[in-house]
Chains A and B, each alone.
Chain A
Amino acid sequence: MALFDVSGFKDYSELRRQIHPGGKTHLVDRTNHYNFGAKTQEFAVPLGVDPSGFIKSCSRDGGVCIELNHGTTTLAFKFRHGVIVAVDSRASAGRYLASNDVNKVIEINPYLLGTMSGSAADCQYWERLLAKECRLYRLRNNHRISVAAASKLLSNMMLGYRGMGLSMGSMICGWDKEGPGLYYVDDNGTRLSGRMFSTGCGNSYAYGVVDSGYREDMTVEEAYELGRRGIAHATHRDAYSGGVVNMYHMQEDGWIKVCKEDVSELIHRYRKGMF
C-alpha cells in the first residue's frame, strides 16, 4: 500500500529476518490457539545446536554412553466396567534410588488420567502441559476434551522434538462420549489405541501376569487384584521398579483412587499361597 512504502514501516517478520539471517527459528508467536498448541513449539532450538546429532553420538561404542532407561512399571487395561490403571512408585538415577514414593499418575481432570514412565522430568513437564491444554479446551469449547484428542495433542508435542532425546512412555486413560478410552503415547510420537498396555522396564513381567489372568467380563474386585498382582510381581523381579502400587479405576462418572499398597506386603501375602 502507498502509505506503507512511504512511511518506511518494517514488518515484524522482516525485522526478525535481519537478526536471524539463516533458517527460521522454531519458536513462533502463538496467535492462533486453534492449533491446540501442536503446531507451535514450547522451546526454541538455538541456532547451530543439533540435539539429535548429540544424542546419536551418546550411544556409540567407545564413545560416551548415556543410558536412557525407562525405569518403571506401569500398566492399564480396559474391561467391562471401565479402565484399571496401576503404577509403581520408584524413581532411580542409574543405580541410585532417588525416591520410593513418586506419583506416576497425573490427574488431568476427573475424567482423564495420564501415566508416566521414562525420564521423570520429561513426563512431568509434558503431561502438565497437556493438562493445561485440556483445561483450555474445556473453557473454550464448553465440553470436555475427548481421550482421542488429548492423546493426539501429546503425541504431536512429542513429534515436534523427535530424535532430540526426550524419553516418555505414557498411557492416557479416560471416559468420554465414545466410552472408556486407553491410548499409549511415547517419545517417538507413537500413539496406539488398545485394550491393554504396560510400559517401563518391568513391563514384560507385568504383561505375563495380566495376560494370563485377563478376562473381559471380570468383576471389579478381580480386576483390582489383577492390577495389583501385575505391578507387585514386576517390582519383585525388576530392580528399577518398587515402592507402592498406586491404583485407579476409571468409571463412567470419573476416576476413583482404589488403593496405595506397599509391594513388599503384597509379595508376602502372595507368598503364603506360593509355597
Chain B
Amino acid sequence: MRQTLLVTINTASKHQYSQQGGETACSGWSLLSSPVEYAQEAVKKGSTAVGIRGKDIVVLGVEKKSVAKLQEERTVRKICALDEHVCMAFAGLTADARIVINRARVECQSHRLTVEDPVTVEYITRYIATLKQRYTQSNGRRPFGISALIVGFDYDGTPRLYQTDPSGTYHAWKANAIGRSAKTVREFLEKNYTDEAIAGDNEAIKLAIKALLEVVQSGGKNIELAVIRRNQPLKILESKEIETLVAEIEKEKEEEAEKKKQKKST
C-alpha cells in the first residue's frame, strides 16, 4: 500500500510542474526522488538570466522569449524591482515567481516600517530563501519552481548579488547565471570576469550582454537588461541602447579578430 502511495505523490509532483509554464514538454521528465528536484528541473527549463556585480553598478540580463505576433511585448517582465535599491530576475515558473515577488515586496516595506531602515540585499534574500524552504517542508504544498538572482546596494554602498534556488539555499556571487543554458554562461563568466572587465559601468553591462549573446538565438532583440547604479533606482535599458551596445561589442570582436590575423601574418 505504501509503495503505491509514494508513486502517486511523485507523478502528481511531476504533473504539477509540467502543467505550468506552457513552454515545457512533458516528455523531458524522468522519475525523480523529491518535489524539490522537480522544482529544480523546472528551473533548468526556464529562460536564462545572468547577474553581474560591478564596482559601482549591478547588472541583470535575461533572455527574452520571442513573442507571438498578436502578443503585446511589454507585458512579459522577468526583471522586477523589490524596492528602490533591490531588484531580482528569475528563471522557472512565472506564476510562482509572481507570488514570491509579491511577498518580498511586502516584506521590504514591512522592514522599512518596523526598523526604519531599507532592507539589506542579504536580508531580503534570506527572507525569500526561508519562504522557499518552508514550502519544501510542509504538508500538501509544493516548492516554488524558481531560482532567483537578487541584486542591489546596501545602505553602506556595497553592491551585492545573491542567488536562491528552490530548496531554499542562497549564496553570494560575483557573477552567476540561472536557467536553460546556465552552465555555458557560467563557464563564459568564469573565463571573462576579471577586474578590468568590470572596471567601469559600461564594461560591466557589456560583459552581461556578451555572456547572454553566447546562448541567445538572434542577438540583441532577445535580450532584456536592467541596471542599478549606487543611489539610483532600477533602470531598464531600452532596446535601442542594447542595440548600440551589441553593435559596439561586434565591432570590438572584429577588431580583436583583425589584430589576431595581423599577429599571425607578421
Contact = CB atoms under 8 A, between A and B. Distances in A.
Contacts of A9: 139-140
B95 interface: no
Interface in A135-186: 141, 145-146, 148-149, 152-153, 156
A34 B103 CA distance: 12
Given A3-B9, A141-B123, A146 B117 contact: yes
Interface string A1-25: 1111000010000000000000000
Contacts of A34: 107, 110-111, 127, 130
A156 B116 contact: no
Interface string B1-13: 0000000110010
B4 to A, nearest CB: 12
B114 A146 contact: no
Taking residues whose C-beta sits less than 8 angstroms from the other chain, chain A's interface range is: 10 to 19
Contacts of B107: 34
Contact of A3 (B12, B111, B116, B130): B12
B58 to A, nearest CB: 21
A38 interface: yes
Contacts of B139: 9
Contact of B115 (A1, A4, A31, A149): A149
A35 interface: yes
Contacts of B115: 36, 145-146, 148-149, 152
B140 to A, nearest CB: 6
A149 B123 CA distance: 15
A2 B5 CA distance: 12
Interface string B135-165: 0000110000000000000000000000000
Nearest to B115: A149
A239 B111 CA distance: 44
Contact of A36 (B114, B120, B134, B140): B114
A149 B114 contact: yes
A3 B8 contact: yes
Contacts of A4: 140
Given A1-B12, A4-B140, A148 B123 contact: no
A31 B12 CA distance: 28
B116 A149 contact: yes
A152 B116 contact: yes
Contact of A146 (B12, B116, B120): B116
Given A3-B12, A34-B107, A141-B123, A156 B114 contact: yes
B110 A35 contact: yes
A1 B123 contact: no
A35 B115 CA distance: 10
A155 B5 CA distance: 51
Contacts of A141: 120, 123
A2 B115 CA distance: 43
A117 B140 CA distance: 49
A184 to B, nearest CB: 16
Contacts of B120: 141
Interface string A37-78: 010000000000000000000000000000000000000000
B127 A1 contact: no
Contacts of B117: 146, 148-149
Given A1-B12, A3-B8, A34-B107, A152 B114 contact: yes
A1 B11 CA distance: 13
Nearest to B111: A34
A3 B12 CA distance: 10
A123 to B, nearest CB: 22
Given A4-B140, A141-B123, A38 B114 contact: yes
Given A4-B140, A146-B115, A149-B117, 15 more contacts: A1-B140, A3-B8, A9-B140, A34-B110, A34-B111, A35-B110, A35-B114, A141-B120, A146-B117, A148-B116, A148-B117, A149-B115, A149-B116, A152-B114, A156-B114
Interface of B: 8-9, 12, 107, 110-111, 114-117, 120, 123, 127, 130, 134, 139-140
17 contacts: A1-B12, A1-B140, A9-B139, A34-B107, A35-B110, A36-B115, A141-B120, A145-B115, A146-B116, A146-B117, A148-B116, A148-B117, A149-B115, A149-B116, A149-B117, A152-B114, A152-B115
Top 5 nearest A-B pairs (CB, nearest first) are A149-B115, A148-B116, A36-B114, A4-B140, A152-B114
Interface of A: 1-4, 9, 31, 34-36, 38, 141, 145-146, 148-149, 152-153, 156
